[in-house]
Amino acid sequence: MPPRTKPLRKDAQRNRDLLVTTARELFAARGLDVSLDEIARTAGVSSGTLYNHFPDRADLVEAVFADRVATVAEIAEHALAIADPWAGLVHFLERVCELQAADRGYNDLVSRRLPQAPPTEDHARGYELMVRIIDRARESGALRDDVTLEDMAFVTWGTARTVEATAGVRPQAWRRHLALMLDGLRATAARPLPEPPLRPEELADIMRACS
């Protein structure tokens, strides 16, 4: 659907796009903490223009990573297209972690709580698909039956930190971390867990929390 708002003037649209792509590159290379002034300068516009388009840093971050939710949903779809449920889960987690490893900004985004983009329909779709990936893997008997979708956050958070630490020295080290984690998620590895899973609302709180 076309956006309801009146279209931007064409130079304004050009500047906006420029800012987003510039920010995307800088975020990818150096993480989410790049200064907004530097982004504007690199894009060749004044800082006023940046603030005109994106009043808040979160607005810019949201614009830069707006497509990622859909990307994750697509990955989830591919994962569900794999016949073997366990292989599907592994595929999903590997691909998501690859996204993190390829983009320091995205890695920061999944790590830190940040902007809280308003929940979109892609969000809901991705969530549904992920639930199915987990359920299917669990019902197949490959995934341990005491883990939930929320436990996948541990995978994401953990590899995010490993990606950050090892990026300079061994960019693929996170694969080893992930593999160990995956071996712990197998039904055959299951031992009683010491703590109940995060409830969906708790995880939502964590994601939403800004600080």
Partner DNA sequence: CAATAAGTTGACCGTACTCTCAACTTATTT
Partner DNA sequence: AAATAAGTTGAGAGTACGGTCAACTTATTG
Q: Does residue number 42 form part of the binding site for DNA (CB under 7 A)?
A: no
**Of these partners, DNA, its own copies, none, which one is at the site of residue 51 (CB under 5 to 8 Å by kind)?**
DNA
Smallest distance, DNA to C-beta of residue 33, A: 7
Q: Does residue number 111 form part of the binding site for its own copies (CB under 8 A)?
A: yes
Q: By CB under 8 A, what part of segment 140-199 binds its own copies?
A: 147, 151, 153-154, 157-162, 165-166, 168-170, 172-173, 175-177, 179-186, 188-191, 193-198
Q: Does residue number 95 form part of the binding site for its own copies (CB under 8 A)?
A: no
Q: Binder to its own copies among 41, 78, 95, 113 (CB under 8 A)? A: 113
Question: In three state form, how does the secondary structure of the chain look?
Answer: CCCCCCCCCHHHHHHHHHHHHHHHHHHHHHCCCCCHHHHHHHHCCCHHHHHHHCCCHHHHHHHHCCCHHHHHHHHHHHHHHCCCHHHHHHHHHHHHHHHHHHCHHHHHHHHCCCCCCCCCHHHHHHHHHHHHHHHHHHHCCCECCCCCHHHHHHHHHHHHHHHHHHCCCCCCHHHHHHHHHHHHHEHHHCCCCCCCCCCHHHHHHHHHCCC
Q: Please state, in angstroms and rounded to a whole number, the distance separating the CA atoms of residues 129 and 210.
A: 27
Candidate segments 11-19, 75-83, 154-162, 194-202, binder of DNA by CB under 7 A: 11-19
Whose Cβ is closer to its own copies: residue 47's or residue 166's? 166
Instruction: Tell me the C-alpha to C-alpha distance, in Å, between residue 171 and each of 160, 174, 182, 198.
Output: 12, 7, 19, 30
Q: Please state, in angstroms and rounded to a whole number, the distance separating the CA atoms of residues 66 and 130.
A: 19
Q: Binder to DNA among 25, 28, 42, 47 (CB under 7 A)? A: 47
How many chain residues touch its own copies (CB under 8 A)? 44
Smallest distance, DNA to C-beta of residue 167, A: 20
Q: Binder to DNA among 48, 168, 192, 196 (CB under 7 A)? A: 48
Q: Please state, in angstroms and rounded to a whole number, the distance separating the CA atoms of residues 195 and 33.
A: 34
**Of these partners, its own copies, DNA, none, which one is at the site of residue 195 (CB under 5 to 8 Å by kind)?**
its own copies
Contact footprint for its own copies (CB under 8 A): 111, 113, 147, 151, 153-154, 157-162, 165-166, 168-170, 172-173, 175-177, 179-186, 188-191, 193-198, 202, 205-206, 209
Where does this chain bind DNA (CB under 7 A)?
Answer: 6, 8-12, 15-16, 35-38, 45-49, 51-53, 55-57
